[in-house]
Amino acid sequence: MDIGIDKIGVYVPKNYIDIVELARARNVDPNKFTIGIGQDKQAVPQPYEDAVTMAANSADSILTAEDKQALGLLIVGTESSIDESKSSAAFLMDLLDLPEDIRSFEIKQACYGATAGLQTAVDFVSQNPDKKALVIASDIARYGIKTPGEVTQGAGSVAMIVSQNPRVLKLTRKSVYMTRNVGDFWRPTFSKTAFARGKFSNEVYVDFFNTLWKKYQEKYSATIDDFSTLLFHIPYTKMGTKALRTLEGKIPDTKYAELTEHYQASIKFSREVGNLYTGSLYLGLLSYLTNAAQSNEELLLFSYGSGAVGELYSGEIQAGFDTIIDQNSILKMLDNRQKMSIADYEKMYQIEYQNGTIVDPQAVNSKFYLSEIKENERLYKKLK
Ligand code: CAA
């Protein structure tokens, strides 16, 4: 049975900051941020947006009434969840008007969460072929104002429906994975911002990619000629570039040139949005599908979550995928965003809603939003 991604949609907040302006405000040469880090814009969420609201927005962009009735599993991958007990998935039941006979939960393993969700969903559909699964990656990446990681922030969500006979990406079920206890990135429960050993994280990431690519070749007698495209976890686009560059000189120049050209198409959206943490690989997939992909292409996807878990797996783009993805709406969503000044971004960054907050819907620019915090419980609404 063929199983994989049948639909994929995205949500990004409606405000962004310009990376050149951020560089100037931090007295940094803009080329460091645009070339050295590889970013152009960074999504800035409103205080009434969080992993739940963004997940609702991305899922709402792809779910039909028919999909909802067929759902048997809902998984939210996030490392910026809003409750230590209740999963983001439970909040989505009302917001998305989902039927009750669904198994739902949240998965956390840094930026690997969505891939864990996707692979779990594939297993679920193989056992329940008449059912679909909804996997959502949703995160706000925060390192703090004036930190080295500030330029690698971002926010957004990617939602995927997994089913049999997928119309976007068939997963070949060829996959290799690994876990090591590594201290490259962590966020203790008391902190809204992450702690990272950024350069060390880069080294571990590249090492995981190389180790897994070797394992994949051995396990499946594969060569680079089996693939036209490599997609990477891209919290900032330079990170994937570093892994890709390790292949230079080890594979034919023409193949390296092809992979590099396709990689550029896969990072277009990330350059505009920034870090989606666990959604980053899937924003890259969507960027590739929107900007360059061809039917029947074989892709290799590298997922990495600090801490650290890595997985390298393959998929095949399905004929007609371009009729399933709402490319115009996605491009419009990115184009229609409003730029925010660095001063306004800094001000908004400090806002943290407390118990008793009631949000005025007139001031909201996202369909799903945090409406109130009552008895320390976060309550959500959909704009009428
Ligand atoms: N023009 C062009 N390039 C320039 C430049 C200039 N004027 N000045 C510097 N550069 C280049 C540097 O040469 C460097 O390039 P290379 O990496 O190719 O050597 C690049 O710009 C960055 O320069 P630095 O290393 O000096 O920058 P930095 O000290 O500010 O650190 C960083 C950069 C490590 C990425 C830092 O921003 C950081 O710590 N970010 C947060 C950590 C992070 O995102 N880690 C990823 C974790 S994995 C993940 O996704 C997390 C997860 O699972 C949860």
| Annotation says 111 is catalytic | yes
Q: Quick check: 178 and 310 in contact, CB under 8 A?
A: yes
User: Which residue of 19, 29, 32, 78 sits with most ligand 1 atoms within 8 Å of its CB, as the best mutation to test the pocket?
Assistant: 32
233 is catalytic: yes
Alpha-carbon torsion, ordered 150, 262, 292, 9, to 10 deg:
-40
Of residues 135, 157, 58, 56, the one with CA closest to residue 381: 56
Q: What is the per-residue pLDDT for 190?
A: 92
Q: Tens digit of pLDDT for each residue in 167-199?
A: 999 999 999 999 999 999 999 999 999 999 999
- Which protein residue's CA is at the shortest distance from atom 18 of ligand 1? 36
pLDDT at 152 over 90: yes
Rounded CA gap, 240 and 233, in Å? 7
Q: Is residue 305 in contact with ligand 1, taking CB distance under 6 Å? A: yes
Question: Using one digit for the tens of pLDDT, what is the confidence trace for 235-288?
Answer: 999 999 999 999 999 999 999 999 999 999 999 999 999 999 999 999 999 999
Share the mean pLDDT of the chain: 97
Eight-class DSSP state of 14: S
- Report the percent of the chain where pLDDT is more than 70: 100
According to DSSP, the β-strands at 154-164 and 103-107 are unpaired
Of 27, 28, 152, 205, the residue with max ligand 1 atoms within 8 A of its CB, to mutate for a pocket test, comes to: 152
Q: pLDDT per residue over 100-141, tens digit each?
A: 999 999 999 999 999 999 999 999 999 999 999 999 999 999
Query: Helix 327-335 to helix 280-291 angle, to the nearest 10 degrees?
Result: 110
Q: What is the pLDDT of residues 293-320, one digit of tens each?
A: 999 999 999 999 999 999 999 999 999 9
Mean pLDDT of 194-219: 97
pLDDT of residue 159: 98
Residue 111 CB contacts under 8 Å (≥ 6 apart), including other chains: 79, 233, 235, 277, 278, 280, 281, 303, 304, 305, 306
Return the residue matching tokens 């599908």.
289
Encoding tokens for residue 121? 């969903």
Compute and round to an integer the Cα radius of gyration of the chain.
20
Task: Kindly give the number of the ligand 1 atom that is closest to the alpha carbon of 280.
Answer: 50
As a whole number of angstroms, the distance between CA 11 and CA 47 comes to 16
Please give the distance, rounded to the nearest whole angstrom, from the Cα atom of residue 39 to the centre of ligand 1: 11
Q: What is the DSSP annotation of 242-293?
A: HHHHTTBTTB-HHHHHHHHHHHHHHTHHHHHH---GGGHHHHHHHHHHHHT-
Q: How confident is the model at residue 384 (pLDDT cuts 50, 70, 90)?
A: confident
Q: Any alpha helices (H) in the chain, and if so which ranges?
A: 19-25, 30-31, 51-60, 65-70, 88-95, 113-127, 198-220, 237-245, 253-266, 268-273, 280-291, 321-324, 327-335, 342-350
Give the position of tokens 């990656």.
Answer: 137
pLDDT tens sequence across 315-327? 999 999 999 999 9
pTM of the model: 0.97
143 is in an annotated binding site: yes
Report the share of the chain in percent with pLDDT over 90: 99
Average pLDDT (20-43) is 98
**248 an active-site residue?**
no
Domain ranges of the chain: 3-382
State whether the beta carbon of 31 lies less than 6 angstroms from ligand 1.
Answer: yes
Phi and psi, residue 78, nearest 5°: -155, 150
CA gap 295, 106 in Å, rounded: 32
pLDDT of 87 > 90? The answer is yes
- Looking at domain 3-382, its CATH superfamily turns out to be Thiolase/Chalcone synthase (3.40.47.10)
- Ligand 1: centre distance to CA 337 (Å): 26
The catalytically annotated residue of 49, 79, 150, 311 is 79
Query: Torsion over CA of 148, 20, 306 and 108, rounded to 10 degrees?
Result: 110
